[in-house]
Structure 1
Amino acid sequence: MPTTPPSARSYSSGTSGVPLLGDTIGENLDRAVHAFPDRDALVECATGRRWSYTEFAADVDAVALGLLALGVAKGDRVGIWAPNRAEWTLAQYATARLGAILVTVNPAYRSHELEYVLNQAGIRVLVAADRFRTSDYAGMIAEVRPRCPALEQVVLLDGPDWEGLLAAGRAGDPAALAERQAELSPDDPINIQYTSGTTGFPKGATLTHHNILNNGYFVGELCGYTEHDRICIPVPFYHCFGMVMGNLAATSHGACMVIPAPAFDPRATLEAVASESCTSLYGVPTMFIAELADPEFDRHDLSSLRTGIMAGAPCPVEVMKDVMGRMGMTEVSICYGMTETSPVSTQTRADDSVERRVSTVGRVGPHLEVKVVDPATGRTVPRGEPGELCTRGYSVMLGYWGEPAKTAEAVDPAGWMHTGDLAVMDGDGYLSITGRLKDMVIRGGENLYPREIEEFLHTHPDVLDVQVIGVPDEKYGEELMAWVRMRSGAEPLTAESVRVYCAGRLAHFKIPRYVHVVEEFPMTVTGKIRKVEMREQAAGILAGPEVPPGR
């Protein structure tokens, strides 16, 4: 059998003359404070609060010493459950100073998901907003707390809890914090981020200082960041996009983090860019589409913008042209990755063509490797042929928290993370994502796994069986559709009745938009559900002249 020459294989490694960082996050922040003491570190537009690097470090230390006073030890899990706000960022760097493991909890979670994460991670201290919009965080915490034995302390941000923590920290001994930080290693776990899993429950990707600090740093390097950059971060902090590609990319370069609003708001984002002279703007394509469509778009002075990052979903070519032309982001970068890889594995460069930016996810990042393999044999395929994308290097997680078997399924003995995504590598090493091995649905940048939603809907007393698929959607890229078999005698479910059942128990973006009631599912001769056929049928159902059954 002929073999593929090495140069023609779908393999690429990211060479770099810039070495990996060997710091902990706290040490790296100290370097930025020493180099840029008076430069802006953090701006919160909603409140007008701002911190220089010196002021930011002082408040980070106060939070860290406050947590130390609560008895937080190295390796303890500290949860953070809040929308984007300055206190979120302070907690991020404070836990890093202590060597506590920050568990980022999605602000859209409801009691069902919160309880699972609190127990699975063994969270000892939970820092949380009291409420935001329709989310009563304090109420949900009170509801689940009796069933969460590890949870010892809850620190609510909007009242005496947080102020008490800061006061205790400011009265603490800085030498105790310095002593703790000196005990830390860059290879210590520092962050658990939950990513939906096919097991029916989220899995906690466990990441180190070395993982996320270097990933943020090199993403920033490819964006050309310096201390003169000001990065507008409307993407959520609970995800790597916000806290790594945003916050850590900024502080590792002495740049400024700008929080435009607690949650994404296109007008507030545009106002933040203009008022703070931001040089970089982040978002998923739907965010940029919303900003460009704002009726007052043209009155905002965006002339300071130079670059930014778009990730989470493919970018339509016209949107990319508008982002570069109307928004002035001529150096905008496309990134691809996953939580388990800290997150970025590939990225376009500033001099890449528009075509490259809309048709590929760029080339491998510095100090990383990527390859495309035949899922059946594991052999690297020739360039131009599809296969499963794998990545290896400093960015790969330690594993899924408390789930060694699931870790072994994702990371092979040679250290390759199997992404589950189908990709093609061209002759220049650029990668295009062509599909998914599994049935993951990407809705507006959120990665959703049908099995988790199916498991929850199975708790409905009238549901005999349920299958969830992704269907095309103009606004979000994909939406969820549930195919449901009802128990005998039960009234058919509708999209509205499913929404009511899920409200307060499942994050809003996980609630199916469409519900289709069936007698049977399409099956193979061996009894396996044919989701491919379901998706094909769904296209006809949703395009039909009549309202889909159960919609």
Structure 2
Amino acid sequence: MLRSITIGDLLDETAERFPDREAVVYHERGLRYSYSQFQMICNQAARGFLSLGIQKGENIAIWATNVPEWVISQFATAKMGGVLVTVNTSYRVHELEYLLRQSESTTLLLIDSYRNASYLDMIREICPELDECEPGQLRSARLPHLRNVIYLGEERQPGMFLWRDLMERGVEYPDEERVARQKSLHPDDVINMQYTSGTTGFPKGVMLSHVNIVNNAIKVAECQRLDETDRVCIPVPFFHCFGCVMGTLASVATGAAMVPVIAFDPQVVLDVVEAERCTALYGVPTMFIAELNHESFPERDLSSLRTGIMAGSPCPIEVMKRVVEKMGIRDITIAYGQTESSPVITQTRPDDSIERRVTTVGRAHDGVEVKIIDPATGESLPPGVQGELCTRGYLVMKGYYNMPEQTAKVIDHEGWLHTGDLATMDEHGYFRITGRLKDMIIRGGENIYPREIEEFLYTHPKVLDVQVVGVPDAKYGEQVLACIKVKPGETLTEEELLAYCEGKIARFKIPRYIQFVTDYPMTASGKIQKFKLREQAIELLGLSEEGGYSTA
């Protein structure tokens, strides 16, 4: 049974049912909100956003780690009808400018820095006008839609509001206006936008409605058997659906406590789980590996853990077994999907055998259709035959923001979302992901589209041509390899190229391997054979063992 409810109304409903239960716990900061307190803070922040003149459907971008302001903003914007645009914390100037311009965001919330990258310096580089303008009055040559920049810090910054300014404005703003705006929202309205790489080069804004993500959160919670007694440790980033749908929204849908980790660190995760007696733990495989291998792991009391989700990239069988046996997460589930499907399509259940939980990605959620088709003919295929996985139902995105042609390439006229992933289905309805039609690279849960890196590397004055492929890696699943042709008469070193990338594109997109080549393997018709580049590189770099472990 699907629910037709907005995110704001869902929070109000849960706060009414469980007013005194803990909603948000930041162990690192000693911060705790009950559901009634969290509801009040979100209402105040919603009024603050309204006081800035932000209209229903306006895009509000947030560029931050899992800080408390992030989760408050998620529910506050949902209450006043602003569309939350999530920004990857690893983005650099090039990517940030693209996202803000393409999304037509009118407001940006940001922290000061992350991993030695100054967000303040980067936004000032794009918008030097900030130094001269009053807060809320930005007129940027490069970002014509951006008006408000809100700094999630304590020190006053030129041209920016502080978060406390927003909250103070929220005190003064009439709550009747907030109530009226919240009542005017429709469950089918777009309320969340996440940028993802897909079938064409640059990231596209995936438009998700209340119905999309509320119902997906409910289904994800059901598969873990979450309820109001659970405490969910969320070390995965909020800017992905894993964090802000499967994590925060699934918790609110059930009355469970959200226990976020501000930025992933295995020791901090273990500290938080142990101190807060978390019952559920989320992560991509590399996170679980880091936790299992941490020097303090043998001394930890993780006996409170019962369930959780491992997702984001293929889950190695041995890692899954260790999570069950060593961490004691007996009901751990595997989830599969993509941003365009809100995000989960299939998930294992706690009563599935360990064999099913380590060799498949589970079966379809209730209310979701899944089929395997022949990519060439579109015909449905029988069990056991590999083809492209397609899905249909409430979970399919509204489309890509301002990209109707790209939307039409992935959602067909019958409403089926074509994932681009190759899979098989067994006679019991369990799926195995076997490969990808598209050449997207998935590194440690991050989707990387080769063309985006190629387009950037083309801007180097000495690069004649570049082809980017993924090569196997035991830790991250895949790494980025760039095969470079240098312009005649020029010399280029690996160090020079890496220095060119530093600070301009996200670190996870910077090639791990660089090969200088004179030509590429080609088909008779002149098309470059990327699969051969990959095969040659695996042999040359001695990576055949890296991909030698089995996954679901």
Q: Within 5 Å, give how 1:436-447 maps onto structure 2.
A: 436-447=436-447
Q: Return the offset for 1:197.
A: 3.3
Q: Return the offset for 1:490.
A: 1.4
Q: Within 5 Å, give how 1:513-524 maps onto structure 2.
A: 513-524=512-523
Q: Return the offset for 1:498.
A: 2.4
Q: Return the offset for 1:507.
A: 0.4
Q: Within 5 Å, give how 1:131-280 maps onto structure 2.
A: 131-145=113-127, 146=140, 147-159=142-154, 160=156, 161-260=162-261, 262-280=262-280
Counterpart-to-counterpart distance in 2, 1:77 and 1:115: 15
Q: Return the offset for 1:458.
A: 0.6
Q: Return the offset for 1:354.
A: 1.5
Could you tell me which amino acid in structure 1 is paired with residue 89 of structure 2? Answer: P
Could you tell me which amino acid in structure 1 is paired with residue 33 of structure 2? Answer: W
Contact in 2 for aligned 1:198/1:452 (Cα 8 Å): no
Could you tell me which amino acid in structure 1 is paired with residue 70 of structure 2? Answer: W
Counterpart-to-counterpart distance in 2, 1:524 and 1:452: 23
User: What SS does structure 1 have at the residue aligned with 2:29?
Assistant: coil
Contact in 2 for aligned 1:227/1:253 (Cα 8 Å): yes
- Among residues 87, 93, 96, which one is paired with 1:114 in the alignment? 96
User: What SS does structure 2 have at the residue aligned with 1:308?
Assistant: strand
Q: Return the offset for 1:442.
A: 1.0
Q: Does 1:49 align with 2:31?
A: yes
Q: Return the offset for 1:497.
A: 2.3
Q: Return the offset for 1:130.
A: 1.7
Could you tell me which amino acid in structure 2 is paired with residue 315 of structure 1? Answer: C
* 2:326 equivalent in structure 1: 326
Superposition TM-score, scaled by structure 2 size: 0.94
* 1:9 equivalent in structure 2: none
Counterpart-to-counterpart distance in 2, 1:153 and 1:363: 44
Q: Does 1:382 align with 2:377?
A: no
* 1:532 equivalent in structure 2: 531
Counterpart-to-counterpart distance in 1, 2:329 and 2:78: 32
Q: Return the offset for 1:45.
A: 2.0
Counterpart-to-counterpart distance in 2, 1:372 and 1:197: 19
Q: Within 5 Å, give how 1:342-361 maps onto structure 2.
A: 342-361=342-361
Q: Return the offset for 1:175.
A: 1.0
Could you tell me which amino acid in structure 1 is paired with residue 431 of structure 2? Answer: L
Residues 355 and 498 (structure 1 numbering): CA distance in 2 closer, same or farther, change over 3 Å?
farther
- Among residues 74, 79, 83, which one is paired with 2:61 in the alignment? 79
Contact in 2 for aligned 1:372/1:390 (Cα 8 Å): yes
Q: Within 5 Å, give how 1:26-45 maps onto structure 2.
A: 26-45=8-27
* 1:365 equivalent in structure 2: 365
User: What SS does structure 1 have at the residue aligned with 2:419?
Assistant: strand
* 2:131 equivalent in structure 1: none
Q: Within 5 Å, give how 1:289-300 maps onto structure 2.
A: 289-300=289-300
Counterpart-to-counterpart distance in 2, 1:246 and 1:325: 24
* 1:59 equivalent in structure 2: 41
Q: Within 5 Å, give how 1:482-493 maps onto structure 2.
A: 482-493=482-493
Counterpart-to-counterpart distance in 2, 1:217 and 1:77: 25
Once the two structures are superposed, residues 113-142 of structure 1 have per-residue CA deviations (whole angstroms, 9 ceiling, x without a partner) of 000011101000101112223121111111
Counterpart-to-counterpart distance in 2, 1:137 and 1:47: 22
Contact in 1 for aligned 2:60/2:105 (Cα 8 Å): yes
Counterpart-to-counterpart distance in 1, 2:254 and 2:117: 35
Contact in 1 for aligned 2:198/2:440 (Cα 8 Å): no
* 1:408 equivalent in structure 2: 408
Contact in 2 for aligned 1:81/1:127 (Cα 8 Å): yes
Counterpart-to-counterpart distance in 2, 1:323 and 1:468: 34
Once the two structures are superposed, residues 221-265 of structure 1 have per-residue CA deviations (whole angstroms, 9 ceiling, x without a partner) of 1110110000000000000000000000000000000012x2110
Q: Return the offset for 1:198.
A: 4.1
Could you tell me which amino acid in structure 2 is paired with residue 120 of structure 1? Answer: Q
* 2:509 equivalent in structure 1: 510
Could you tell me which amino acid in structure 1 is paired with residue 84 of structure 2? Answer: L
User: What SS does structure 1 have at the residue aligned with 2:113?
Assistant: coil
Contact in 1 for aligned 2:280/2:308 (Cα 8 Å): yes
Counterpart-to-counterpart distance in 2, 1:298 and 1:109: 36
Could you tell me which amino acid in structure 1 is paired with residue 166 of structure 2? Answer: L
Once the two structures are superposed, residues 385-417 of structure 1 have per-residue CA deviations (whole angstroms, 9 ceiling, x without a partner) of 000000001010000000000000000011000
Counterpart-to-counterpart distance in 2, 1:498 and 1:335: 37
Counterpart-to-counterpart distance in 2, 1:46 and 1:112: 32
Structure 1 spans left out of the alignment, 5+ residues: 1-18, 545-551
Counterpart-to-counterpart distance in 1, 2:118 and 2:505: 14
Counterpart-to-counterpart distance in 1, 2:446 and 2:230: 27
Q: Return the offset for 1:30.
A: 0.4
User: What SS does structure 2 have at the residue aligned with 1:366?
Assistant: coil
Once the two structures are superposed, residues 526-548 of structure 1 have per-residue CA deviations (whole angstroms, 9 ceiling, x without a partner) of 0000011111101111019xxxx
Contact in 1 for aligned 2:422/2:433 (Cα 8 Å): yes
Once the two structures are superposed, residues 323-377 of structure 1 have per-residue CA deviations (whole angstroms, 9 ceiling, x without a partner) of 1111111000000000000000000000111211121100000110000000111
Counterpart-to-counterpart distance in 1, 2:459 and 2:28: 40
Could you tell me which amino acid in structure 2 is paired with residue 221 of structure 1? Answer: E
* 2:549 equivalent in structure 1: none
Superposition TM-score, scaled by structure 1 size: 0.94
User: What SS does structure 1 have at the residue aligned with 2:229?
Assistant: coil
* 1:3 equivalent in structure 2: none
Contact in 2 for aligned 1:331/1:351 (Cα 8 Å): yes
Q: Return the offset for 1:196.
A: 1.5
Once the two structures are superposed, residues 135-187 of structure 1 have per-residue CA deviations (whole angstroms, 9 ceiling, x without a partner) of 21111111112310100010000025111100110222111100000100000
Q: Return the offset for 1:317.
A: 2.0
Could you tell me which amino acid in structure 2 is paired with residue 398 of structure 1? Answer: K
Counterpart-to-counterpart distance in 1, 2:464 and 2:333: 46
Could you tell me which amino acid in structure 1 is paired with residue 147 of structure 2? Answer: E
Contact in 2 for aligned 1:493/1:515 (Cα 8 Å): no
* 1:464 equivalent in structure 2: 464
Identity of aligned residues (%): 54
- Among residues 74, 98, 105, which one is paired with 1:92 in the alignment? 74
Counterpart-to-counterpart distance in 2, 1:134 and 1:196: 25
Contact in 1 for aligned 2:219/2:365 (Cα 8 Å): yes
Runs of 4+ residues over 4 Å off in structure 1: none
* 1:7 equivalent in structure 2: none
Q: Return the offset for 1:38.
A: 0.6
Residues 503 and 198 (structure 1 numbering): CA distance in 2 closer, same or farther, change over 3 Å?
farther
* 1:102 equivalent in structure 2: 84
Aligned residues: 525
Could you tell me which amino acid in structure 1 is paired with residue 26 of structure 2? Answer: E
Q: Within 5 Å, give how 1:18-29 maps onto structure 2.
A: 19-29=1-11
Counterpart-to-counterpart distance in 1, 2:96 and 2:326: 41
Counterpart-to-counterpart distance in 1, 2:153 and 2:2: 39
Counterpart-to-counterpart distance in 1, 2:454 and 2:27: 39
